[in-house]
Structure 1
Amino acid sequence: MAPSVKEDPASTTTADLREAQQQRILAAAMTCFARSGFHKASMQDICAEAGMSAGNLYRYFRSKEAIIAAIAEADRVRNAEIFEVLERTDDPVRGLCALARAFLREMHGREAPALCTEIIAEALRNPEIRAMFERNINEAHAACAKALRRGIEQGTVDPGIDVDVTVRLLMAMGDGIIAHRPMADFMTDDRIDAVLDTLLERFLRPGAPPTPPPISE
């Protein structure tokens, strides 16, 4: 849930108040979408969760689709901040480890797992929802692929990997961890960090074990 906002009448601007109201609505919407899904959650549900009238809510968002688009854009801004970790790290493998930690901590909450899986499922069914989040996915892919290619050039990443497939496998693994954590109490931050470090080091470094041949049927 979004943090409470304490307003100082002497310093708060109209823009600040509008931003606070929008964040209040988005927090309420994410709660409703995580609880009921995009289809079943109604604007009335969001109004009730936000504690405001329909007329007030529609001053900020004209439709449920506009709210979903705003959530996608907020995710994009948050992701851009996390991807700065890669840019600041000389070693891309360690950068990816740090990025994974930041992302999983950001997404470790009461609503995040349900909302994450709902976005993926709805994107497969609904082209409009897919278009809203596809830019985020493509930007995440580009940032990680750039880091891996930089690592290959500097000799810290195995040049034999398929960069694009590797990136999507890592992204899918991250989504899977988010979805599974509520069903596995032992998936604590420290244990996940240790396993992810080992996995990425063994998978991405030069001199990793050779790829085994395909299993014959």
Structure 2
Amino acid sequence: MARKVDPGRVARMRERILAEAAEVFAMRGFEGASVADVARAAEVSPATVFYYFGDKATLFRSLFEQDIPKAEALVARYADADDAVRAIVDVVESLAKDATDPRAPALLIELLRRTGRDPELLDVVRRSASVIHEGLTTLIERGLESGQIDASLDARETASWLQSVVDAAYLNARPGHCPAPALRRTVLRYLAPENRGGP
């Protein structure tokens, strides 16, 4: 009789390997890291890493595939928010939360390097960004309709701009520095109707 697979155990092992992979890729870069390095950090055999992820490119890609369900959950959480501007600020702050992680800038640089060489990774990034873009666009449209947001703004362009601001928070991340207050000020002032100004 075939052995039953325990989904919980599989999920925990994948999470453990991915946590160590993030550390190794941030420290050594994609090219400098090996599956053996990740296996050693996770205290498993290289065969175990290959079993769960297939190859190094898939392992690296899996770090960012985790962002898709997180993005979907984040957008769903604010889908029915009454205060569109408050929801937008919360979404932006949530997206930038991991910028305080000291590994974040290095992983972002490796991601930018790899997307030109790995079409599947590029697709993962686009899917995640699209979920956030659609969610922000919907909230901005709601804010425009209610008069909370400057009527001269285009919803889709504004959503793209907000995503760029979040990206900048990662590119300019410093350990121990939280970008949330600056992001909040920037977003509120940008969205505010011209005759009002942000807080």
TM above 0.5, yes or no, is: yes
Q: Report the alpha carbon displacement of residue 32 of structure 1 after superposing the two structures with TM.
A: 1.6
What are the residue-to-residue correspondences of 1:182-193 with 2, within 5 Å? 182=174, 187-188=177-178, 192-193=180-181
1:60 match: 52
User: TM-score by structure 1 length?
Assistant: 0.78
Deviation readout 1:78-118 (Å, 9 max, x if unpaired)? 22222234324212211111112222224421212221232
The separation in 1 between residues aligned to 2:56 and 2:195, in whole angstroms, is: 48
Contact 2:162–2:187 (8 Å) recurs in 1: no
The separation in 2 between residues aligned to 1:117 and 1:85, in whole angstroms, is: 29
Q: Kindly tell me: are residues 207 and 85 of structure 1, through their superposed partners in 2, closer, same or farther at Cα, counting changes over 3 Å?
A: farther
The separation in 1 between residues aligned to 2:137 and 2:195, in whole angstroms, is: 19
| 1:145 counterpart = 2:137 | yes
- Residue in structure 1 matching 2:96, options 79, 101, 104: 104
RMSD: 2.3
Number of residue pairs matched by the alignment: 192
User: TM-score by structure 2 length?
Assistant: 0.84
Contact 2:89–2:188 (8 Å) recurs in 1: no
Q: Report the alpha carbon displacement of residue 123 of structure 1 after superposing the two structures with TM.
A: 1.9
Counterpart code for 1:105: K
Q: Kindly tell me: are residues 128 and 208 of structure 1, through their superposed partners in 2, closer, same or farther at Cα, counting changes over 3 Å?
A: farther
1:44 match: 36
SS in 2 for 1:164: helix
Counterpart code for 1:75: D
Contact 1:202–1:208 (8 Å) recurs in 2: no
Q: Kindly tell me: are residues 115 and 151 of structure 1, through their superposed partners in 2, closer, same or farther at Cα, counting changes over 3 Å?
A: same
The separation in 2 between residues aligned to 1:112 and 1:78, in whole angstroms, is: 16
SS in 1 for 2:53: coil
The separation in 1 between residues aligned to 2:124 and 2:188, in whole angstroms, is: 33
What are the residue-to-residue correspondences of 1:21-100 with 2, within 5 Å? 21-100=13-92
Q: 4+ runs of 1 displaced by more than 6 Å? A: none
Contact 1:107–1:178 (8 Å) recurs in 2: yes
Counterpart code for 1:96: I
Q: Report the alpha carbon displacement of residue 21 of structure 1 after superposing the two structures with TM.
A: 0.9
Q: Kindly tell me: are residues 144 and 121 of structure 1, through their superposed partners in 2, closer, same or farther at Cα, counting changes over 3 Å?
A: farther
2:127 match: 135
Deviation readout 1:25-77 (Å, 9 max, x if unpaired)? 11111112212222332212211221211122222121122223322221111
Bigger relative contact order, structure 1 or 2, given CA contacts below 8 A and separation 6+?
2
Deviation readout 1:101-146 (Å, 9 max, x if unpaired)? 2222244212122212321332245433212221111111111111
1:159 match: 151
Deviation readout 1:134-174 (Å, 9 max, x if unpaired)? 11111111111111112112222222113222222211211
- Residue in structure 1 matching 2:187, options 192, 200, 215: 200
Q: Report the alpha carbon displacement of residue 24 of structure 1 after superposing the two structures with TM.
A: 0.9
Q: Kindly tell me: are residues 124 and 156 of structure 1, through their superposed partners in 2, closer, same or farther at Cα, counting changes over 3 Å?
A: farther
